[in-house]
Amino acid sequence: MYPSLLAVALAFVSFQYTFSQGISRRFETEISFPRDLNTPEVKFNLQLTGSRQFKIVLDETSKELTNVRVFDILGNLILEDKITPSDGLQKHYDFSSTNSQLFVVEVGNAKYNKTKSIYAHPPGERSGSGLE
């Protein structure tokens, strides 16, 4: 006589359960953190220096590269750059060849990104486009 199919299935499940319980598992005993976990937030200001020209002024000199991304009003990336420690606290940008009226500037590092925007023209200057 053949054992019933149910008895065979229960025996297999029981064997599989017993076998899986006997497997030893490794546990991690050390905790590792990313290198840039203690990277401070980048603080900066934007200062208009001319028509479609501005500079980024950092509050503190960074010992690492600071990422810079500039977008136009439509969200198109128009510049990707880095501020190096040798650049100091300021870096100038000239977008006089673009038609954008507003720039969105993202400055950050491996941990933090901060975004600010700047209008393309100094106060009192007309853009000539009639959009003001």
For the chain, list the domains and their CATH numbers: 44-120 (2.60.40.3080)
Classify residue 9 by its DSSP letter. H
Once rounded to an integer, what is the mean pLDDT over residues 71-92? 94
Q: Which has more pLDDT, 130 or 58?
A: 58
Question: What confidence category does residue 130 fall into, taking pLDDT thresholds of 50, 70 and 90?
Answer: very low
The whole-number pLDDT of residue 111 equals: 79
Residues in contact with 132: Cβ distance below 8 Å, sequence separation at least 6, in sequence order: 126
In whole angstroms, give the CA distance from residue 48 to residue 91. 12
The answer to pTM > 0.95 is: no
